[in-house]
Amino acid sequence: MAYDIALRFQQALDPSSLATLPACLHALSAAIDDCRNAGKADDSDPAVILLARHLGILAATIGGGDSGLRRLCMDQIADLRGKPALVALAHKGVAYDDLAKQQFHADGRKALKRLAAALGLAEGSYDLRSNKGGVAVSGEITLHGDEVYVQLGIGCMGRGREVLFRHVVGRKDYCGDRNHWADIAELMAPDCLAARIRRELHLAAPDTAPTRLVA
């Protein structure tokens, strides 16, 4: 059953409370939904048009001129392209993005396999498992050896603390000693991160040089 409400017209006539881009976008989106619920054309609704114009006016006052904003966008693209996909995904976030989450878990497993090799862990001496969790989270990828537990995830502890590692006693030990943290960028240099993990967890150095895995 079609229905209509006056809220969008009131907001369009007095948009003073819509002082941020998210607030404007929410009001505009809600106005478009109201039009569709009422069976009206949203592209000719006066409230929708006025709210869209208010959004444009507000956006024009933020961030300086177009040329500067375009330059910042190009800089961000160059920066992201210069980073490994796993780091870019972690910084972007993968919640509510199934394809991004699949890529994050696939790349995360590869990265933890390289770390296992750098730690000198032989095949079969560790478990590598993946838990994707619900749509609102990144889930975790976990490397669990006889002495070391490493878990990769994003969002829970904030940026720069995507990699958790701690000492454990066996692969049935899910608690272990106190947590240590590393930035996901450190995972891109597995030899360096492995040396840090051995140092902070007081693990013995491997007897043989690590076998490098190719992604």
Question: Which tokens sit at 27?
Answer: 């009001």
pLDDT for 25 beyond 90:
yes
Mean pLDDT across 39-51: 94
pTM confidence score = 0.63
**Across 174-197, average pLDDT:** 95
Q: Do the beta carbons of residue 18 and residue 54 sit within 8 Å?
A: yes
In the chain, where the domains are located: 7-60, 93-201
In the chain, % of residues over pLDDT 70: 93
- Band (pLDDT 50/70/90 cuts) for residue 186 is very high
16, burial (CB in 10 Å: exposed 0-12, middle 13-18, buried 19+): exposed
The pLDDT of residue 1? 47
Q: Which of 77-81, 91-95, 153-157 has the highest mean pLDDT?
A: 91-95
**Tokens 């000693």 — which residue?**
177
Place 2 in a pLDDT band, splitting at 50, 70 and 90. Answer: low
